[in-house]
Amino acid sequence: MSDQAEKLRQMTLHSSIPTSPIIKQSAKSRVITVTSGKGGVGKTNFTVNLALALAALNKKVLVIDADLGMANVEVVLGCSATYTILNLLEDGLKIADIATEGPRGIKFMAGGSGIYHLANLSDAHLNHIIGQISLFDNWADFILIDTGAGISRNVLNFVVAADEVIIITTPEPTAITDAYAMVKAYAGQKGTAPLKLVINRIVDRDEGQMVVDKLMRVSQRFLNVAIDHLGYVYEDRNMVKAVKSQIPLLISFPEAISSRCIEDIAQQILHGKNVQQRPRGMKGFFYKFLEYM
């Protein structure tokens, strides 16, 4: 796919992509992939509620559900997406038509298996799709990509192409082992995006810090990979209640301790150390994504 990605770069240099009258075309969204080595650690819940926390800070957020064959983002939000990325090829459909609006003005989009059909499209169709998707650089401050679990090639494509990567894990030994496996796989792909760690479902800070120290130590020692600690989220029955009600945690239980934790993490993303100063945006993300397909 590297040849096609290079051709696409040359084509889009000369393409005409409309700009927002408010935001300069040079503005770029921060593309953050949220992933985990193991399923069931609360990754999608975290992604959706992080989007809502950022929206509460007056940031515009798009969530892309990249868990192929699943619709977990829709379940957590309690609403459904009608279209996927491939529907951009249908007459008259624009990027605004396939992005569904959720609470607090966030938007979400089902990537689905359509993303992997990009490799089989003509240059003209591919240029059209990426030109449309790139329009989100004129709207979104953040684009959060919720991957599937595990370390398959499909997942790693989304991880390696991002501006930043958040790895979600829990204090369970199997989750820690799988989180390390994700870091190792990422290092094997020579990823360069900053890795950030969130420990979910902690009982107390000591438990969370123990996991952070362990993962940071072994990743640095054996892989020469630095990981930043982004924050903790406490074990909270309100999260389970929110999932069952299909109303996101930050809306159904805004005062819950887990809600406060996610809001703190949103602040860290905006103002903490190692904030991404020169994100590539959606166009840059897809260039790199195609190279790894």
Question: How many of the other CB atoms lie within 10 Å of CB of 204?
Answer: 10
168 in a structural domain = no
- Characterize the bridge pairing of strands 107-110 and 100-101: antiparallel
Q: How far is the C-alpha of 260 from the C-alpha of 271, rounded, in Å?
A: 16
- For residue 153, the model assigns a pLDDT of 85
| SS3 at position 41 | coil
* Domain of residue 286, CATH code: 3.40.50.300
Instruction: Specify the number of domains making up the chain.
Output: 1
- Report which DSSP code applies to 22: S
For helices 43-56 and 237-245, give the axis angle rounded to 10 degrees: 90
Report if residue 222 sits inside a domain. Answer: no
Q: Is 176 a member of any domain?
A: no
**Does residue 138 belong to any structural domain of this protein?**
yes
CA distance 160 to 187: 9
78-115 b/e (C-beta count within 10 Å ≥ 16 → b): beebebbbbebeeeeeebeebbbebbeebbbbbbbebb
Amino acid occupying residue 224: N
The helix/strand/coil state of 251 is helix
Evaluate whether residue 151 is within a structural domain. Answer: yes
Query: What distance in Å separates the CA atoms of residue 90 and residue 122, rounded to the nearest whole number?
Result: 15
- Tell me, what's the pLDDT at 278? 77
Cross-strand pairs, 147 = 66
Beta bridge partners of 197: 167, 229
Query: Does any domain span residue 128?
Result: yes
pLDDT at 11: 46
276: left (phi over 0), alpha (psi -120 to 50) or beta: beta
98: in domain? yes
Query: What distance lies between CA 13 and its chain's CA centroid?
Result: 26
Q: Which domain holds residue 248?
A: 2-11+29-160+238-292
Q: Where are the alpha helices (DSSP H) in 219-275?
A: 237-245, 249-252, 257-271
Q: In tens digits, what is the pLDDT along the chain, a chain of 293 residues? A: 455 555 555 544 444 333 333 334 456 899 999 999 888 999 999 999 999 999 999 999 999 988 766 678 888 998 888 887 778 777 678 888 889 999 999 999 876 555 666 666 777 877 887 788 888 888 999 999 999 888 988 889 899 999 999 999 999 999 999 999 999 999 999 888 999 999 999 999 999 999 999 999 999 999 999 999 999 999 999 999 999 999 999 999 999 999 999 999 999 999 987 666 678 898 889 888 888 76
Closest by CA to 263, choosing from 16, 56, 3, is 56
**pLDDT at position 280, please?**
87
Residue 173 within a domain: no
